[in-house]
Structure 1
Amino acid sequence: MKELLRTTDPTIIAWATAILQGEGIKTFEFDVHMSVLDGSIGILPRRLMVLDSDMFMARAVLKDNDIPTGQ
C-alpha cells in the first residue's frame, strides 16, 4: 500500500474515500485512532492508503475532484 493523502481534516478523508470507492478503488485509512494520543484535538494527520496498482488512477480521480494529494 502507498500513501495517497495525508490530512488533519476528516471531511477530506471521507470525501476522498467516497469518490475513490465510487470508482472501484479500495482505500484504507491509517492513524484513525491516533486522536487518543493527542487528546482528540485533531493535530495528528490521518493517511489514506491505496494499493500500489491503484495509485496512478487514484491520484487522477482526486485531481479531477480538486482534492490535493500533496504530490
Structure 2
Amino acid sequence: MITLVRTNDIVLISLIEALLREARVPLFVADAHVSAVEGSIGAFPRRVMVPEDHAAQARRLLRDAGLGAELAPSPGGS
C-alpha cells in the first residue's frame, strides 16, 4: 500500500474516503487510533493509503476533484 494523503483534517479524510469508495478504489486510513489518542496537538497525522495498483487511479480522482495539492509525493517522484 502507498500513502496517498497525510493529514489531520478529518473532513478532508471523509471526502477522500467518499470519492474513493464511490469509484470502488480500496483504501485504508492508517494511524487513526494514535491520532485520536494524542488529542488535538496534530503530532500524528492520519494516512489515507491505497494498494499500489490503484494509486494512479486514486491520484487522478483526487486531482480531478481539486485535491491535487493534498497528495503526498508519489513513490516514483511524479
Aligned alpha-carbon RMSD (Å):
1.1
State the number of aligned residues.
69
Note if 1:41 corresponds to 2:60: no
Which residue number corresponds to residue 7 of structure 1?
Answer: 7
Inter-partner Cα distance in structure 1 for 2:27 and 2:71: 14
Query: What TM-score does the superposition give when structure 1 sets the normalisation length?
Result: 0.90
Which residue number corresponds to residue 71 of structure 2?
Answer: 69
Post-superposition shift, 1:70?
3.2
Inter-partner Cα distance in structure 2 for 1:63 and 1:57: 10
SS of the equivalent of 1:11 reads: helix
Which residue number corresponds to residue 31 of structure 2?
Answer: 31
Post-superposition shift, 1:11?
0.6
- Gaps (5+ residues) in structure 2? 74-78
Query: What TM-score does the superposition give when structure 2 sets the normalisation length?
Result: 0.82
Check conservation: 1:2, 1:51, Cα contact below 8 A.
Answer: yes
- Partner amino acid, structure 2, of 1:65: A
Q: What's the % identity of the aligned pairs?
A: 30
Runs of 4+ in 1 over 2 A off after TM superposition: none
